[in-house]
């Protein structure tokens, strides 16, 4: 592909990039390896943006492609969104964006080599290298080149994404992201990215299956860009969510920094979760989402009987769970049973006051019937 310096007509991504770069230099406490990782995390989405913009200009019909009735799994992190996403991704009629194609979207993936593209092995090797550097990372958050990838990896190309503020200590950036950033351009770029992938591997009559807890914070921007989106929100006791995501954030940051603490991560995670739940409730009552149906899934119900939950979910979405899809889901679950979290995190590690946090999330729990769980 010939060189290009055209990032597209919208320069709004530069604000997030500037804040991100400032934070990486002044706040992230990067070690030598962290500097190398951060450079790649900036260059990769910029290169992808250049490549997608050039391809789109050379193939203008791509911009007219429809993204019809995409399914978005939202909700707090650590509420079963990942395993639900992975199970639904086994349905041949649903199309998740896979990790390898999100990280390397050009040259355009092709149907005839979709399962054998050399980028699959390259991406998998990179993931396994991360596990070698910080053992246990994949137990916290299973990943793979052929697994579906979260939307935060796509919106990284707008530099308006929680992926950066989870992976690195960036207090200025994360507060901008939470309170001040305009997320609408990120969703426009999200659509552009899906159209790009779809132009290479259409998937026939398939529907996009998408996932990120970050969508809960921006439901209005999501439905403004995708007015026919089908939204699934997972629910779980927020206190166990906070302790789990704090431990995961700490584990991720250890890739790039020798100076990370769970208590520091917990302070950020608690603020994000509390703000996200409050904002999510307000948005669901707002005019922006008036008449927009959202399907609620209880974590406890899903853990107790995942396939009863999935059948009910399909019924709510107006879809039929085919025997083939269910068989594939059962095979995936048997091969990836999980371990329930084990002893990887405890509430005591967070340094937070459980009673105070419980009061902050009580309205959410009462509204959605989310029971208190024993704190781990």
Q: Find the CATH number of the domain harbouring 338.
A: 3.40.50.300
Instruction: Please report the pLDDT score of residue 203 as a whole number.
Output: 61
Instruction: Please report the pLDDT score of residue 339 as a whole number.
Output: 53
Per the domain annotation, does 4 fall within a domain?
no
**pTM value?**
0.94
Domain that holds residue 224: 13-368
Per the domain annotation, does 318 fall within a domain?
yes
Instruction: Please report the pLDDT score of residue 340 as a whole number.
Output: 53
Alpha carbon distance 17, 38 (integer Å): 12
Q: Is the dihedral of CA 21, 22, 26, 28 positive or negative?
A: negative
Per the domain annotation, does 1 fall within a domain?
no
Instruction: Please report the pLDDT score of residue 360 as a whole number.
Output: 98
Instruction: Please report the pLDDT score of residue 70 as a whole number.
Output: 94
Residues of the chain with pLDDT under 50: none
Per the domain annotation, does 8 fall within a domain?
no
pLDDT tens-digit series, residues 189-212: 999 999 999 999 876 557 899 999
Per the domain annotation, does 5 fall within a domain?
no
Query: Which of 192, 145, 171 is closest to 267 using CA atoms?
Result: 171
- The tokens for 148 are 């579906």
pLDDT tens-digit series, residues 25-81: 999 999 999 999 999 999 999 999 999 999 999 999 999 999 999 999 998 988 999
Measured CA to CA in angstroms, residue 139 lies from 168, 272, 332, 337, 341 at distances of 20, 23, 16, 11, 8
How many structural domains compose the chain?
1
Secondary structure percentages of the chain, helix, strand, coil, to 5 = 60, 5, 30
Measured CA to CA in angstroms, residue 209 lies from 89, 336, 367 at distances of 7, 20, 27
Query: Which of 102, 94, 127 is closest to 48 using CA atoms?
Result: 102
Per the domain annotation, does 376 fall within a domain?
no
Work out the number of other CB atoms within 10 angstroms of the CB of residue 7: 16
Instruction: Please report the pLDDT score of residue 292 as a whole number.
Output: 87
Q: Which residues, other chains included, contact 222 with Cβ-Cβ below 8 Å and sequence gap of 6+?
A: 72, 187, 215, 229, 231
Alpha carbon distance 45, 51 (integer Å): 10
Per the domain annotation, does 208 fall within a domain?
yes
Alpha carbon distance 216, 285 (integer Å): 13
Per the domain annotation, does 374 fall within a domain?
no
């Amino acid at each position: 592909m010939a060189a290009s310096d055209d990032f597209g007509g919208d320069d709004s991504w530069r604000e997030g990039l500037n804040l991100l770069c400032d934070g990486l230099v002044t706040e992230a406490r990067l070690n030598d390896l962290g500097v190398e990782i951060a450079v790649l995390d900036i260059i990769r989405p910029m290169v992808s943006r250049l490549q997608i913009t050039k391809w789109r200009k050379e193939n203008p019909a791509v911009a007219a492609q429809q993204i019809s009735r995409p399914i978005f799994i939202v909700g707090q992190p650590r509420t079963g969104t990942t395993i639900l996403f992975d199970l639904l991704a086994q349905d041949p009629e649903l199309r998740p964006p896979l990790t390898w194609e999100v990280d390397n979207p050009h040259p355009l993936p092709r149907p005839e080599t979709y399962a054998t593209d050399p980028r699959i092995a390259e991406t998998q090797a990179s993931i396994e290298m991360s596990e070698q550097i910080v053992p246990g990372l994949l137990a916290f958050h299973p990943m793979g080149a052929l697994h579906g990838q979260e939307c935060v990896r796509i919106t990284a190309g707008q530099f308006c994404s929680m992926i950066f503020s989870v992976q690195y200590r960036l207090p200025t950036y994360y507060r901008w992201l939470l309170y001040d950033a305009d997320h609408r351009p990120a969703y426009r770029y999200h659509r552009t990215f899906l159209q790009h992938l779809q132009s290479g591997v259409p998937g026939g009559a398939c529907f996009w299956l998408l996932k990120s807890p970050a969508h809960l914070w921006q439901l209005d921007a999501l439905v403004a860009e995708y007015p026919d989106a089908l939204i699934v929100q997972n629910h779980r006791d927020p206190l166990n969510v906070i302790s789990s995501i704090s431990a995961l954030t700490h584990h991720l940051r250890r890739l790039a920094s020798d100076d990370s603490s769970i208590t520091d991560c917990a302070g950020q995670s608690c603020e994000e979760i509390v703000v996200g739940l409050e904002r999510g409730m307000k948005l669901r009552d707002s005019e922006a989402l008036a008449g927009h149906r959202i399907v609620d899934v209880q974590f406890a119900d899903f853990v107790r009987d995942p396939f009863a939950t999935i059948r009910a979910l399909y019924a709510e979405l107006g879809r039929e769970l085919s025997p083939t899809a269910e068989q594939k889901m059962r095979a995936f679950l048997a091969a990836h049973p999980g371990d329930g979290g084990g002893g990887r995190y405890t509430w005591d590690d967070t340094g937070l006051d459980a009673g105070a946090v419980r009061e902050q999330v009580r309205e959410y729990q009462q509204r959605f019937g989310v029971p208190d769980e024993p704190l781990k």
